[in-house]
Amino acid sequence: MTAKTDGQLNLRVVLYGAVNSGKSSLINAMAGKTVAKTSSHAGETVATSSHALDGAEYKMALEEFLLILVDTPGLVEAGGSERAKTAFDAVRAADLVLFVLASDATEAEHAAIMQVRDVSKPVLMALTKTDQLTQKQRTQRREAIHKKFARLIGPSNIVEISAAPTRKVEIINAATGKKMIEDRTGIPDVTALQARIIAIAKTEGRALIEISGGMERLDSLAATKARRHKQAESAIDDYSIGTAIGIALNPIPILDLFGGGIGIATLVKRLSAIYETPMAMDEINELASQLLRNSRSELFWVVASIAGGSLLKSVPGLGTAGGALLQAAAAGFLVNVVGHTAKLYMDNGKSWEEGSLRETLRHVIANTDKDGTIAHIKEKVRARLDLGT
């Protein structure tokens, strides 16, 4: 994207726009030769493709910059959801977005331009197929586009071009003398666009590089956060179910009153590892103790359920199974709440998001699906211990 190549700074320019707006033709015009496939049929570009243009291929001296032009699938193509994602992923990785527009912007194109601006990408707009319009039509299109977008992207960043112009040529058949008119490819006119890209590269190139680098870092952080969240959720579920099963299997009813703390310190340690937040064992044990103490205070029904389960366990047969399941569900729910409270603590850099441990704990309790969580725990315990319904 931005690394130096033979002393030149790379500038990644992504072409974005609707089907048949002329993106591939524009790449060919800037390259001075055919490097991108063009077609009158919608949907020909199914993935992004990059074309690196060196000084010999590009028609103006780039000196310190090497443009990397990236073609993308057109907007609103058949099967568009996947292609739209492919195109927008390329936009997020761009240093500069070149939005290609053949006529006045449709609703879809207007929305796409706004979406690009939302990710803080500098935008140039190329008004293509200028050669196919009369002077009056050109003026009308230019005025309409400037009215909609000049304040958004800047009037100097809206440029008219002819990427693949045609010209009428009269051909005389030497044998019959009959005259014929043929359409032949003319000389592209992209000079103004090239000049604007180079001007931006020279005045803002390094800033664009920093913006793109920042976006990449944000994407990396988002991916890391999503990975940690998934791992933490899995760990909390594992420890909740493990604790529930351990409580259910405890053969000494009265000891279950002190249950629920089994594995909490281990869970805290596991979460600190997932979030790469180093903690000494004394610190882990102290946090686990505070979490358990406060959670028992806020979830008094858990203590009552464990006590009730202990009494049921003393009754042979169904009483034992029912007491075990009651205790398991209560203890598992407690560990689930404690785990999510500790998760917020780690995710917030070892500080309490809601101001204090108790406030964070209450926030977690209020936002936890009690019935759904308990049903999930019971289902897992029943299946593991074959307790039936």
pLDDT of residue 224: 82
pLDDT of residue 272: 92
The answer to whether the beta carbons of residues 52 and 66 sit under 8 Å apart is yes
3-state SS assignment for residue 259 = coil
What's the token pair of residue 353? Answer: 């998001």
Report which of 262, 264, 260, 284 is spatially closest to residue 272, judged by C-alpha positions.
284
Instruction: Give the Å distances, CA to CA, from 188 to 26, 28, 37, 145, 384.
Output: 9, 9, 16, 22, 72
pLDDT of residue 258: 42
> DSSP states of 273-285 as a string?
HHTT----HHHHH
Q: What is the pTM of this model?
A: 0.49
Work out whether strand 158-160 and strand 123-127 pair parallel, antiparallel, or are unpaired: parallel
Give the span between the Cα atoms of 325 and 344, in whole angstroms.
Answer: 29
- In 3-state terms the chain splits into helix, strand, coil percentages (rounded to 5) of 55, 15, 30
Q: Which residues pair with 179 in a beta bridge?
A: 172
Length of the chain: 389
pLDDT of residue 93: 78
pLDDT tens track for 256-292: 444 445 578 889 999 999 988 889 999 998 998 898 8
Flag residues of the chain having pLDDT under 70: 1-8, 33-64, 76-81, 83, 165-171, 174, 181-186, 204-221, 250-262, 300-323, 353-354, 386-389
pLDDT of residue 89: 80
pLDDT of residue 312: 47
Report which of 62, 58, 51, 49 is spatially closest to residue 9, judged by C-alpha positions.
62
Instruction: Give the Å distances, CA to CA, from 77 to 38, 48, 108, 239, 273.
Output: 15, 14, 11, 47, 45
pLDDT of residue 256: 40
Phi, psi of 96 (to 5 degrees): -145, 135
Phi, psi of 226 (to 5 degrees): -65, -40
Give the span between the Cα atoms of 383 and 380, in whole angstroms.
Answer: 5
pLDDT of residue 317: 46
The answer to whether the beta carbons of residues 186 and 165 sit under 8 Å apart is yes
pLDDT of residue 59: 38
Give the span between the Cα atoms of 117 and 111, in whole angstroms.
Answer: 10
Phi, psi of 287 (to 5 degrees): -65, -45
The answer to whether the beta carbons of residues 129 and 146 sit under 8 Å apart is no
End-to-end distance of the chain based on CA atoms, in angstroms? 59
3-state SS assignment for residue 319 = helix
254-281 burial, b for 16+ CB within 10 Å, e for fewer?
eebeebbbbbbbebbbbbbebbeeebee
Burial of 246 (0-12, 13-18, 19+ CB in 10 A): middle
Give the span between the Cα atoms of 265 and 267, in whole angstroms.
Answer: 5
3-state SS assignment for residue 153 = helix
Report which of 328, 314, 330, 322 is spatially closest to residue 245, judged by C-alpha positions.
328
Give the span between the Cα atoms of 84 and 90, in whole angstroms.
Answer: 10
